[in-house]
Structure formats: structure tokens, C-alpha cells
Structure 1
Amino acid sequence: MNQAHVHLLLTHLPIVGSLLGVLALLAGFAFRSEPVKRTALGLFLFAALAAIPTFLTGEGAEEVVENLPGVQENLIGRHEDMASLFIWLISGLGLLSLATLAASFKSNSISKALYPVTLVVSLATMGVATQVGATGGQIRHTEIGGATVQADASQEGGVYGEEREERDED
């Protein structure tokens, strides 16, 4: 298993964790449920922790894919830029969530002030997370983002190494 494989295995955790955290926090506000809000904070902490190895394996993943046919360097650069912003935001969200969680057990007035701030930061983080996912997906998924793969299908065996069947239109 190489760094690209590890990166792909981990990459969904911070994004999905952030999304679930936002949904849980909104539900906590809607139902005025402290346990649900605390669950959201736990999800944000999980997402922040999962983002660390995801970010750290990104460079190794780049080394694996940058010379593959059809991979565009500008897409990797955009993904790196968004990932750098995301790691700062998700780290801040993780620290804010930890502070909010601690305050929720000690002081209701402080946690009441921190929860809305946490929601705003989580929404901003989620917005950037979607961009990280989208730009990462464009690197290898040519069906999104209009990227194209240049392949020579005229070689015997075609693109997938299979011989093409000629159809007679009699």
C-alpha cells in the first residue's frame, strides 16, 4: 500500500466528519439538545484528527500520481492550496470544539457564546472541505471538472488492453 492509497482511504474521513458535525450541531440547536451539540463537537474533533494523516499523506500521493498519464499539475496545485487552507480551518475548528466542549461542562454562559461561533467556523470549514474534495477528485476522475485524459486508443489492444471488435453493419 503506497501513500496515494493511504491518502485515498483517509481523505473522506475529515470531509464526512465535518458534514456530519454540521448536521448534528444544527440538530442540536433545533432540538435544544446539549448531548446532540456535544456529539457534534466530538465529530469535529474526529474530523480534525483524521485530517492530520490525510494531509501528511498528500505529498506522497502527489509523488505517486504526478507523472501518470492525464494528470494535470495545475489540478494538483489547486488541490494542495485548498488542502492547506482546510488543514488550518479544521485544526482551528478542532481546537474551538475542544474549548466549547470543555466550556459546556463547566459554564453554560460561555458555551452558549461559543456554540454559534463553532457553527460559523464549521460552515466555513465545510465549504472549504467541499472544494478540497472536488479538486482532489478532478485529479484522477476525468468525468468531473472537465479534465481530459490523453490516451492513444489507436494502439492494438485499445485503451484497456482489449481487442476491439469490428461490427459489420450488413
Structure 2
Amino acid sequence: MNDAHLHMIVNHFPIVGTILGLLVLMGGIYFRSNSIKNTSYFLFIIATVFTVFSMATGEGAEELVEDMPNIGHEIIHNHEELAEKLAIIMYLLGVVSVIGLISNIRNHPKAKFFSYAIAVIAIVAVLLSSKVGTSGGEIHHTEIRPDSVIANSTIKDTETTMDKD
């Protein structure tokens, strides 16, 4: 197994884990349940650990695919830049989630504040992760690129069909 394969395995966990964690956290805030909030904090911490693995395998994956046909340095560079920004947000989310977990366990007066702060960070992470995931998918899935011949011809075919109706 090479870095590209490992990267493909681990890179989905930060995205899916953060989305799931945000949904669980929203439930914990709504139901005012520290147990549910703690579950979301664990999900965020696990997602952060997978972010570390994803970043560690990304460079090796880049080296393996950057010279392949239909894959240019620009599209990989765009994905890498977005991933680095997401990694910073995810590291922050992981650290603040550890603090939120400890504050909940100790019934600290600031525990409620941390739940809202973590929710805001998680929302930013989810929004950014959708861009990172899309830019990563565009590396090999040329059909989802905005400048794709397939995507543009499908749009033109749809417009032509709509014009006929």
C-alpha cells in the first residue's frame, strides 16, 4: 500500500466525522445533554487524529499522481492549499474539543461556552471540508471539474432540450 492508497482511505474520516460530530453536538445543545456533547467531542477528536494521518499521507500521494495525464500541478496545489487551511481548523477543533470534554467532566461554569465555540469551529470546518473534498475529488474525477468537457456538454445538452420544450 502506498501513500496515495493510504490517503484515499483516511481522507474521508475528517470530513464525515466532523459532519457527524456537528449533528451530534447540535443534538447535545438542543437536549442540554453533556453525554451527547461529550460524544460529539470524541468524534471531533477522532476526526482530528485522522486529519493528521491525511496530511501525513497527502504529500506522498501528490508525488505519485502529479505527473499523471489529466492531472496538473495547479489542481493538486489548490487541493493542498485548502487542505492546509482545513488542517489548521481541525487542529483547533480537536484542541478545543479536549478542553470542552474536560470542562464538561468537571462541570466547569464555562462548559456551555465551549459547546457553542466548538459548534462555530465545527461549522467552519464542515464548510471548508466540503471544498477540500470537492477539490480532492476533482483530481481524478475529471467529470466533476467545472471546466470539464463532460460537465459542459451535459449542461449544453440540458439547455438544448429545455429550449426545444
Pick the TM interval, shorter chain.
0.7 to 0.9
Q: Name the counterpart of 2:12.
A: 12
Whole-angstrom CA distance in 1 between matches of 2:75 and 2:26: 33
| Conservation of the 8 A alpha-carbon contact between 1:10 and 1:54 | yes
Q: Name the counterpart of 2:79.
A: 79
Task: Kindly state the Cα deviation for residue 4 of structure 1 after the two structures are TM-superposed.
Answer: 0.4
Quote the RMSD (CA, aligned, Å).
Answer: 1.2
Rg larger in structure = 1
TM-score (norm 2): 0.87
Q: Which runs of 4+ in 1 moved over 4 A?
A: none
Q: Name the counterpart of 1:68.
A: 68
Task: Kindly state the Cα deviation for residue 97 of structure 1 after the two structures are TM-superposed.
Answer: 0.1
TM-score (norm 1): 0.84
Q: Percent identity?
A: 36
Q: Name the counterpart of 2:96.
A: 96
Structure with greater helix percent: 2
| Conservation of the 8 A alpha-carbon contact between 1:138 and 1:147 | no
| Conservation of the 8 A alpha-carbon contact between 1:70 and 1:148 | no
Name the SS of the counterpart of 1:57 in structure 2. helix
| Structure 2: tracts of 5 or more residues without a match | 150-165
Question: How far does the alpha carbon of each residue in 1:50-104 deviate from its partner, in whole angstroms, 9 at most, with x for none?
Answer: 1101111001000111011100221101100011001111000000000000000
Q: Name the counterpart of 1:37.
A: 37
Q: Does 1:116 align with 2:96?
A: no
Residue type at the aligned position of 1:145:
R
Residue type at the aligned position of 1:56:
A
| Structure 1: tracts of 5 or more residues without a match | 150-170
